[in-house]
Structure 1
Amino acid sequence: MSGGKIILDKALRSAVNLSSSKLPSEVAKSSAKLFSALSGTKFVLPDLAYDYNALEPAISAETMEIHHSKHHQTYITNLNATMEKIDSAMIAGDVSGTIALQGALKFNGGGHINHTLFWENLSPTSTFPTGGPLDKAITDRFGSLDDMIAEMSAKTLAVQGSGWGWLVYDPKNRRALLIKTVLVSMLDMHTRRYRNVDDYLKAIWDIINWDVVEERLIAASK
């Protein structure tokens, strides 16, 4: 399945980060404008830059196909359904109804964004770029690539239930961290989708697209 890097709509990124609490009227109006900018948008399942079997044995072809064509597609189907409801609420001038749909927008929009970024994060050919900005950032923060992998794997394994493990870049302090700020790299920890999570966490590092990770770091550093 072919396809290049996905550029996600900035409005969607902003929308899924809106607070689901009650909003002041001014913020509600701004939110309504934001949702309006997404009006009529139809999201589609992104193509992958590799075949389903290309990541074996780290991730099986069966797992990839189910995860991409079914799980990711479900997020997109529900996201489009939510957007249709938002469109209807906007047409009716129902700002409170629009805001009430934030939860579904955040969940399904976030699922779409996270999975799209995750697919970009993987590659059948994985080579760590030594001596570059990524290598320096990891060495400065963790001591070595192996130390970073060990720490991230341990913290990701500790995720309760389903979720994500994030390696991020903190622009303010200009360092790599294992908290959610600006995404650099990520691990999918929806553990029910992988038969042996321990083996998965050991093998996943062999298929990380380090070139994409470094590109994200450079972009976040500017």
Structure 2
Amino acid sequence: MSTRRGENNRNRPQKHQNNFAWKFDKFKTDPKTKVVADIVVQNCCAKCTGVIEWKIKYGKYKPLTQPGKCTNCSEKRVKSAYQVLCIPCVNLLEVCAKCRQKEDIVNTREHQLLLDTELFHNEIKKELLTLPERKRRSFLRLVERSENDLYKAIKEQERAEREGLPGADRELPTLIEIRRDIKEKARVAKEKFGRAQGSDDLDLDDLDLNGDGDDDLSEDEF
């Protein structure tokens, strides 16, 4: 395009057409580039995850050559660049590993497991392998019922909100909270009813499903 005054029309198309997204590793074949491209950000909040993923996408990410020092425990076990907390301290403090803010950590392995229905159910089945078949099936029915009840409650709340009915502002547990509770109950069931403990004569109805020490609960209170 001419820079002379009055000549604002251009007959040719722009030089760079941007026909495909830019990839920093397109013409690089060294191992470090491939390692950086495959990095998955973990233990960070949504904002910090986006910042680090931008660095990875545009080739600005610089991995650590040796473990960094954790700002909480002072141990040299921080293995991810741009993070200041090690994984045990992240689990202990329940904060973002980069900004140390009490934000919702969106990409821990636990979150990925709890949000993936197939992985979660497979994990629960592995946890219950030592239970007798009848007790294991009963527990899995309780798991399915608890998740279905949550989905029904969400749909009812959405309908109440659309139609202006009472109950639209009722606070519901999240799917992650429900599945964390199920994991804890599966652990308790394994300890109480596992075959290794010789408890084949026990019934799943005896399990303390609310974790309050009362063993006289029914399946409906799951």
User: TM-score band, normalised by the shorter chain?
Assistant: under 0.3
- Asked which structure has the greater RCO (Cα within 8 Å, sep 6+), the reply is 1
Report the TM-score when normalising by structure 2. Answer: 0.28
Report the TM-score when normalising by structure 1. Answer: 0.28
The structure that has the greater radius of gyration is 2
